[in-house]
């Protein structure tokens, strides 16, 4: 395609819901797709690429390997055989052999796996480009720089676009659906680490990006970058306090989730309709967030409590 300054936002319509998960076309002399959505929505992504006149990809770039961000990477790599797949070194082996990734996700999603995610295709190791902090994907006249941002997951990168100063944030800032006005953290088990998550947001702030583009969902153009970072840190801290309160009462995950949900609805989500809350739950649910925090707090205390009975 012809070079284009503004990234193209593609709505994957994940789980049949518009406006919750995106992927993004970034074009210089070469063309990159940042994020892929799940394999279950790959036809939607391909149709959008076709509608924009994009008949080839040189790069498939993922912030991390969770199925809503990289589940379609292998399928798209088959469709675009010349594309390289850029990923964090810790995530790379799981794109080559996704069996452990799939089985790990199955512990969370159970019988819903196939319907939600549609499987995941392996990628030939020779197609993988491993990135470390500061490494650059050169698109010719434009580049994407990997920014190490653990917390949500150990293998998480954001990507800074040299042409626009925009930062593709993956899940580092949580979920901020543009019409809801609420930040919900994304704190899944088993890797979530609160200290790393807050440090990653401060690192993002220090980069002074011109714009934040969230996978969930889209450009955060309604507020300054610093304000969005403040919102994300505050949400992480609030959820921590709620989970600590719940965990002091019970080690049962469902019971703890009910306590956290009550706090979140009263403090942050009071004005949201059930449909709006359900849209957010499609990206990161009360239960998943509570589970991630409980696992994190267990580790902080040396495993003194059970790791949340699911």
Tell whether 148 and 199 lie within a shared domain. Answer: no
Sole residue written with tokens 């392996």: 122
At residue 241, does pLDDT exceed 90? Answer: yes
Q: What residues contact residue 135 under an 8 Å CB cut-off, 6+ apart?
A: 145, 146
pTM, to two decimals: 0.93
In the three-class reduction of DSSP (H, G, I as helix; E, B as strand; rest coil), residue 86 is classed as: strand
Q: How far apart are CA 268 and CA 283, in angstroms?
A: 17
C-alpha closest to that of 181 among 108, 259, 271, 263: 271
Any idea what the CATH number is for the domain that residue 65 is in?
3.60.15.10
Q: How far apart are CA 137 and CA 61, in angstroms?
A: 9
Environment class of residue 53 by beta-carbon count within 10 Å: exposed (0-12), middle (13-18) or buried (19+)? exposed
Segment 164-176 mean pLDDT: 97
DSSP bridge partners of 146: 159
Tell whether 257 and 206 lie within a shared domain. Answer: yes
Give Cα separations from 230 to 72, 132, 198, 213, 223 (angstroms).
32, 26, 10, 16, 11
Q: How far is C-alpha 30 from the chain's CA centre?
A: 24
The whole-number pLDDT of residue 310 equals: 47
Whether the CB-CB separation of 28 and 139 falls below 8 Å is answered with yes
Query: Domain total for the chain?
Result: 2
Tell whether 155 and 198 lie within a shared domain. Answer: no
Tell whether 81 and 131 lie within a shared domain. Answer: yes
Using pLDDT thresholds of 50, 70 and 90, give the confidence band for residue 4.
Answer: low
The whole-number pLDDT of residue 115 equals: 83
Tell whether 39 and 59 lie within a shared domain. Answer: yes
Whether the CB-CB separation of 25 and 52 falls below 8 Å is answered with yes
Tell whether 78 and 50 lie within a shared domain. Answer: yes
Tell whether 180 and 155 lie within a shared domain. Answer: no
Tell whether 6 and 118 lie within a shared domain. Answer: yes
Tell whether 152 and 8 lie within a shared domain. Answer: yes
Instruction: Domain of residue 18: give its range.
Output: 1-161
At residue 277, does pLDDT exceed 90? Answer: no
The whole-number pLDDT of residue 274 equals: 85
C-alpha closest to that of 104 among 26, 232, 182, 190: 190
Q: What is the mean pLDDT of the chain?
A: 93
Torsion of CA 158, 122, 217, 111, to 10 degrees: -130
Q: pLDDT digits over 42-74, tens only?
A: 999 999 999 999 999 999 999 999 999 999 999
Q: Which of 118, 133, 161 finishes a domain?
A: 161
C-alpha closest to that of 171 among 75, 257, 236, 120: 236
Q: Which of 144, 161, 178 finishes a domain?
A: 161
Segment 104-109 mean pLDDT: 82
Tell whether 175 and 304 lie within a shared domain. Answer: yes
Q: pLDDT digits over 69-98, tens only?
A: 999 999 999 999 999 999 999 999 999 999
Q: How far apart are CA 139 and CA 58, in angstroms?
A: 8
Q: Which of 118, 143, 161 finishes a domain?
A: 161
Q: How far apart are CA 221 and CA 180, in angstroms?
A: 14
Tell whether 23 and 106 lie within a shared domain. Answer: yes
Sole residue written with tokens 């009550």: 262
Tell whether 118 and 259 lie within a shared domain. Answer: no
At residue 291, does pLDDT exceed 50? Answer: yes
């Amino acid at each position: 395609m012809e070079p284009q300054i503004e990234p193209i936002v593609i709505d994957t319509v994940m789980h049949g819901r518009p406006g919750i998960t995106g992927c993004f076309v970034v074009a210089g002399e070469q063309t990159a797709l940042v994020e892929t959505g799940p394999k279950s929505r790959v036809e939607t992504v391909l149709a959008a690429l076709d509608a924009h006149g994009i008949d080839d990809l040189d790069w498939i770039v993922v912030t991390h390997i969770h199925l809503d961000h990289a589940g379609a990477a292998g399928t798209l790599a088959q469709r675009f055989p010349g594309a390289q797949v850029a990923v964090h070194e810790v995530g790379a082996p799981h794109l080559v052999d996704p069996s452990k990734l799939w089985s790990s996700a199955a512990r969370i999603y159970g019988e819903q796996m196939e319907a939600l995610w549609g499987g995941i295709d392996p990628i030939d190791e020779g197609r993988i480009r491993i990135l470390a902090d500061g490494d650059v994907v050169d698109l010719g006249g434009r580049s994407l720089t990997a920014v190490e941002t653990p917390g949500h997951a150990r293998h998480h990168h954001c990507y800074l676009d040299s042409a626009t100063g925009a930062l593709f944030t993956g899940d580092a800032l949580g979920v901020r659906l543009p019409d809801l006005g609420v930040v919900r953290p994304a704190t899944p088990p088993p890797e979530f680490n609160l200290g790393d998550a807050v440090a990653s947001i401060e690192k993002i702030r220090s980069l002074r990006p011109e714009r934040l583009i969230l996978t969930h969902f889209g450009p955060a153009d309604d507020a300054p970058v610093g304000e969005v970072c403040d919102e994300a840190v505050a949400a992480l801290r609030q959820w921590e306090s709620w989970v600590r309160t719940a965990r002091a009462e019970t080690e049962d995950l469902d019971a703890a989730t009910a306590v956290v949900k009550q706090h979140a609805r009263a403090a942050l989500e009071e004005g949201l309709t059930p449909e709006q809350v359900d849209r957010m739950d499609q990206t990161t649910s009360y239960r998943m967030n509570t589970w991630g925090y409980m696992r994190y707090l267990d580790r902080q205390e040396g495993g003194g409590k059970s790791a949340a009975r699911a």
